[in-house]
Amino acid sequence: MATKVFVILSSGDREVALEVGLVYPLNAVKNRWMDEVKLIIFGPSEKIAAFDMEVRARIEELQKAGIDIMACKWCADRMKITATLEDALTILANEAQRIASSRALLRHDLMGRIYHLLLIRDIAKYHATYYTSVPAAYILARFALNAPNDNWKVHWDETASIADFRVAD
């Protein structure tokens, strides 16, 4: 028997999105609870999908798992976020495709396993010290460096300009 589910995320509360609305669809696919899963981002949740980077990253994870994601254009138009929401979903889809096509980014992450083995899980958990996977680091770096920031006086095409630029994780 084929099972299908549409998950409608309509809450503007980011915790609801991150802890429930974006968790169930992924688990439904990963654990094969359902044959087909689609997510509808509706109303206030469209704002957090458009502007919250952590929510965007979770949505990308859903897209990589093969979950179709839709949003209500009428709601987005009313909130004047249509272009931002479309851009966010397009950026996520493009980044997911780029990562999926990059063998280097999808290789087994040996350094992450060594890092956690050396730190012992209890110590890492206590200090909130976790190794960021290569694909996640790649996406976060791309978003951070592509975000407009008037305080950065950096010309990325000039070596001298980036010599003093520092990034911390």
The dihedral sign for the CA sequence 79, 83, 84, 88: positive
Tell me: do 5 and 71 sit in the same domain. yes
The dihedral sign for the CA sequence 38, 35, 96, 169: positive
- Which of the pair, 106 or 70, is modelled with greater confidence? 70
Tell me: do 112 and 65 sit in the same domain. no
Cα atoms in the 13 Å half-sphere on the side-chain side of 5 = 15
Confidence band of 80 (pLDDT split at 50, 70, 90): confident
Tell me: do 68 and 90 sit in the same domain. yes
**Residues ≥6 apart with Cβ < 8 Å to 62:** 22, 25, 26, 39, 69
Return the structure tokens found at 92. 């996520």
Domain range spanning residue 163? 104-169
- Of 101, 132, 153, which marks where a domain is finished? 101
Confidence band of 25 (pLDDT split at 50, 70, 90): very high
pLDDT at 1 over 50: no
Return the structure tokens found at 151. 């305080």
Tell me: do 69 and 25 sit in the same domain. yes
Return the structure tokens found at 104. 């280097």
Tell me: do 20 and 58 sit in the same domain. yes
**Burial grade of 46 (CB within 10 A; 0-12, 13-18, 19 or more):** buried
- pTM strictly above 0.85: no
Tell me: do 115 and 87 sit in the same domain. no
Q: What is the CATH number of the domain that holds 78?
A: 3.40.1260.10
Tell me: do 10 and 69 sit in the same domain. yes
Whole-number pLDDT of residue 130: 56
Tell me: do 75 and 45 sit in the same domain. yes
Whole-number pLDDT of residue 18: 92
Domains identified in the chain, total number: 2
Share of the chain above pLDDT 70, in %: 65
Does an H or E element contain 106, and which?
A: helix 103-106
